[in-house]
């Protein structure tokens, strides 16, 4: 693939990637991908990966479903031995290849790396502000006795 500078592009259903399905709320949607094999400036085998997917996640702030777009663009340096990692340029991420390379695995890995660790829907801050009334919380604080009031009376005696 590298010597021929092969390129692959197309779409793949989210449901076809089991690790990604386990990380999203609903396994709907498609993934657009583009994979370009080649060599970098130093002659190292490389794979340029571009993926884009629209997935459904569960907001951890509001517990509502929301859609978000995942995008990844990276260059992978294909290596056969861990010792070869030092020869890669800083712009490449190492990918250890010890057998046949499954393109679905590469696509899934890149999407999992850009998946938010704690999904939060845009605009959920306003919903939280509406749920928590700061006026009521301040009133409750004012009516509670001050635990240090006793100390001030002892100090004045």
User: What gap in Å lies between CA 96 and CA 80, rounded to an integer?
Assistant: 6
148 located within any domain: no
CA distance 137 to 145: 15
51 is in which domain, residue-wise? 7-120
How far is residue 76's CA from residue 69's CA, in Å, rounded to a whole number?
A: 22
Lowest-pLDDT range of 41-45, 109-113, 128-132, 142-146 = 128-132
pLDDT band at 8; cut points 50, 70, 90: very high
**Structural contact between residues 128 and 62, judged by C-beta atoms closer than 8 angstroms:** yes
pTM: 0.75
The answer as to whether 43 is a domain residue is yes
Q: How many domains does the chain have?
A: 1
DSSP designation for 60:
T
């Amino acid at each position: 693939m590298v010597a021929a500078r092969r390129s692959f592009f197309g779409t793949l259903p989210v449901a076809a990637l089991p690790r990604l399905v386990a990380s999203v709320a609903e396994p709907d949607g498609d993934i657009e991908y583009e994979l370009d094999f080649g060599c970098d400036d130093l002659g190292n085998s490389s794979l340029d990966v571009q993926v884009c997917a629209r997935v459904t996640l569960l907001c951890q702030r509001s517990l509502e479903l929301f859609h978000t777009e995942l995008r990844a663009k990276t260059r992978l340096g294909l290596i056969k031995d861990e010792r070869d990692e030092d020869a890669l340029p800083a712009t490449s991420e190492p990918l250890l290849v010890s057998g046949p390379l499954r393109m679905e695995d590469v696509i899934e890995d890149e999407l999992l790396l850009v998946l938010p660790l704690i999904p939060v829907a845009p605009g959920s801050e306003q919903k939280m502000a509406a749920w928590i009334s700061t006026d009521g919380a301040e009133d409750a604080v004012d009516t509670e006795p001050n635990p240090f009031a006793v100390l001030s009376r002892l100090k004045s005696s």
